[in-house]
Amino acid sequence: MIEFPDSAWKDYELLDSGCGEKLERFGAYVLARPEPKALWDKSLPQAEWDRIAHTRFRPGAGFGKAGKEDSGTWERLHRMDDQWWIKYKSLNLRLGLTSFKHVGVFPEQAPNWEFIYGRCSAMQNPRVLNLFAYTGAASLAARAGGASVTHLDSVRQVVTWARENMERSGLDGIRWIIEDAMKFARREARRGNRYDGIILDPPAYGHGPDGEKWKLDECLFEMLRTVAQIREPDGFVVLNLYSNGYSAALGETLVREAFGIRNGEAKITSGELALKDSFGKVLPLSIVVRVEK
């Protein structure tokens, strides 16, 4: 299974990719960013990239190192705002140029937003937990679908960013938590709290607000086993993984084993989330595993 954002999304477009970079339009602005998975040649000449890009991300000295793999600076090529907004259906998402290559949204995640919205819309007052929730597009999709949402991230600034997105989208009522994801999940398990939907998008490396260390290879299975304790039996799960070296088959096996799901006990789908540039080149960016009744 390979899924792409809906081509009708007018505020995002992957214009070109290749030579370790991608050229993307987010609303009014065009950005050139590193993309190690773009192993092919660019379709447009470099002069055209330079002509249409408003800014290009330049990797820093720590680029490629654990915990600093995306660090660097932005080189402005044309005038643009430091922050701006795009829309995805009813959601408003603020973008900004960060020192870690990211801009506040991962457009390939749009199929997950659709799945989350659809599942929540089909349930009666579901409770949804979004772990490693970043700027909250998945939280907004769940809330728009009628869910009571708990949004958790360890970084205060991105939780504030997510709250701005919620308010600008005309939504309210999301519960904001700034904490280490593992600590929170363990405490919820001890308290017997359960959720009808759980979303996880863990980084390869990270730190909690009190310096807790997260390393995906060492912590992921334990996190999934803890999450299994707070999932309602018929609840849905969305696991997204960006780490290189992980496959959809590996992700599905992790989920099956952590949740104790045997054949026929639940519907599990796994595959890749990808973007397709305007020349038809497919750029796979993450793997996803979904569990539903």
CB atoms within 10 A of CB 81: 12
**In which residue are the tokens 């609303």 written?**
27
Query: Would the pLDDT of 228 be above 60?
Result: yes
Query: Would the pLDDT of 36 be above 60?
Result: yes
The domains of the chain, with CATH numbers, are 2-88 (2.60.40.1180), 106-292 (3.40.50.150)
Among 53-62, 114-123, 278-287, name the one with the lowest average pLDDT. 53-62
Pairing of strands 21-26, 127-131: unpaired
**Tokens at residue 162, please?**
């997510």
> What was the pLDDT predicted at 62?
55
- The amino acid present at 8, given as its one-letter code, is A
User: Which residues are within 8 A (CB) of 50 and not within 5 positions of it... i.e. 6 or more apart?
Assistant: 77
pLDDT tens digit string along 12-29? 999 999 999 999 999 999
Split at pLDDT 50, 70, 90, the class of 293 is confident
Q: What are phi and psi of 47, to 5 degrees?
A: -60, -35
Q: What are phi and psi of 34, to 5 degrees?
A: -65, 145
The pTM is what?
0.93
Closest CA to 236 of 188, 181, 282, 198: 198
**Tokens at residue 64, please?**
């490629």
Among 63-77, 138-152, 215-229, name the one with the lowest average pLDDT. 63-77
pLDDT tens digit string along 110-120? 999 999 999 99
Query: Would the pLDDT of 64 be above 60?
Result: no
- The residues with which 276 forms a beta bridge, in sequence order, are 282
